[in-house]
Structure 1
Amino acid sequence: MPDRFHKPTLFPGGMFEAFLGGDDPAQISRVAHETAQALLARVREEGDPAVVDRLVAYTDAHGIDALAELWSRSNAKTLPGALWRIYLLRLLIRQDAEGTALLFQRGIEISTGIDPVVAGAPTPAGPAEVTELADRILRGVFEGDFAVALERAAAFCRVTAAGCVSVADDRDVVDPERASELTTRALRFTRTAEELAACARLWRTDSLD
């Protein structure tokens, strides 16, 4: 197995090997849940900021593939499903910080609710600020109230979805193809927000596994 799958070494020995040993859906699901639970429990117990730093930056150095193999096929309303969505959201933001910042800022401007406050909307919401916000949300998974981190991520998605819809309306006449892409993106952000919010509710009742 490539060395990049082993850094940082945070999972109990044998879990990666067990996952890669076959395609049995039950085994894959079991390992996904076990790794997610072990990772979260160990990092929270140690409380080491350096470990949290490595986990936040994990996909920057090693890509998303290892996490995808572990968690991407998990049900959305599970712990591994929630972790996968948080990491994927951060990756999306970092890959297009400028575009995401534009959509997020538009969402803030038209928002009439508390989602910008819940998300922790920076002022201004430029690329650097939105990227930092994504890091802070991910850090909250390992350091703070896990449900709050999920709710912040959900709020971010809702604000960005609103921005997508608003910009799509602006582009509809002059660039209908781009407007359609933004509408599809808005639906994806909305669905992700619903999934993360559901996970937060489950976590608060000790039902997220």
Structure 2
Amino acid sequence: MTDEFHKPTQFSGAKFDSFVGGEDPAQISRVAHETAGALLVRVRESADQSVVDRLVAFTDEHGIDAVAELWARASPRSLPGALWRIYLMRALVRQDAEGTAHLFQRGTEIATTIDPVVAGATAPTGPAEIIALADQILRGLFQGDFGVALDRAAAFCRVTALGAVSVADDADLTSPERASELTTRALRLSQTATEFVSCARLWRAGTLD
């Protein structure tokens, strides 16, 4: 850590698992909901593009831990929970763009649903394209249709989970530990996709808070 800013946090898949599985402590629930609601309203009402740009890049400067302090323990089916998971998804993508792009691309090659189209990544999907997709999804929370951004995030998670399962199957005999890690990641991504879908439904019903 320097005097100017926090060093962006690096973390493993195991730490992702612990974040996603967090509970919603009563003592921080009110703060989490109030900050998330106030931020979203203020930014969506602003015509200043630079505000959105700064929010998208916020964790690049301050680290994902800065967002975690506010929202990481919020219910997954809440506004702060949705914001936290989108920020975390973007941080994971940027931390391992090459690996994430590989899993996503594999998923698109075997998907039998429209999820690759809904996610909206440029094909073929390499590291630059997967980073751009993560940025677009986060930006979509503050501009345009919030529910669509959540739908895109859910589709991204499902496609990447599908790719992770496929790669895990390939590695099962030669690298069982790697296969187990990928299977766990796929389960977490699938769970997160379900949470995004629930949040999108609540948003459209006007009850996501």
Q: Provide TM-score, normalisation by structure 2.
A: 0.88
Root-mean-square deviation (CA, aligned residues, Å) is 1.5
The whole-number CA distance in structure 2 between the counterparts of 1:102 and 1:26 is 39
Give the C-alpha shift of residue 4 in structure 1: 4.4
Aligned to 1:29: 29
The whole-number CA distance in structure 2 between the counterparts of 1:183 and 1:27 is 34
Aligned to 1:58: 58
The AA in structure 1 aligned to 2:131 is T
Aligned to 2:206: 206
Aligned to 1:22: none
Aligned to 2:146: 146
Give the C-alpha shift of residue 196 in structure 1: 0.6
Aligned to 1:162: 162
The AA in structure 1 aligned to 2:38 is A
The AA in structure 1 aligned to 2:59 is T
The SS at the match of 1:177 is helix
Aligned to 1:113: 113
Deviation by residue 1:122-155 (Cα, 9 ceiling, x = unmatched): 1120000000010001100000100000010000
Which range is displaced more, 155-164 or 121-130?
121-130
Give the C-alpha shift of residue 110 in structure 1: 0.2
The whole-number CA distance in structure 2 between the counterparts of 1:171 and 1:131 is 25
Give the C-alpha shift of residue 65 in structure 1: 1.4
The higher radius of gyration belongs to: 1
Deviation by residue 1:148-180 (Cα, 9 ceiling, x = unmatched): 000100000000000000000111111111111
Is the CA contact 1:120–1:133 (under 8 Å) kept in the aligned structure 2? yes
The whole-number CA distance in structure 1 between the counterparts of 2:68 and 2:77 is 16
Give the C-alpha shift of residue 26 in structure 1: 3.2
Deviation by residue 1:53-77 (Cα, 9 ceiling, x = unmatched): 0000000011011210100010000
The whole-number CA distance in structure 2 between the counterparts of 1:99 and 1:31 is 35
List structure 1 segments (4+ residues) > 4 angstroms apart after TM superposition: 2-5
The AA in structure 2 aligned to 1:195 is E
Is the CA contact 1:115–1:158 (under 8 Å) kept in the aligned structure 2? yes
The whole-number CA distance in structure 2 between the counterparts of 1:139 and 1:48 is 13
Do structure 1's residue 135 and structure 2's residue 135 form an aligned pair? yes
The whole-number CA distance in structure 1 between the counterparts of 2:86 and 2:175 is 31
The whole-number CA distance in structure 1 between the counterparts of 2:47 and 2:37 is 16
Aligned to 1:173: 173
The SS at the match of 1:155 is helix
Q: Provide TM-score, normalisation by structure 1.
A: 0.88
Give the C-alpha shift of residue 44 in structure 1: 0.4
User: Is there any run of 5+ residues in structure 1 with no aligned partner, and where?
Assistant: 6-24
Is the CA contact 1:47–1:143 (under 8 Å) kept in the aligned structure 2? no
Q: How does 1:69-108 map to 2 (within 5 A)?
A: 69-108=69-108
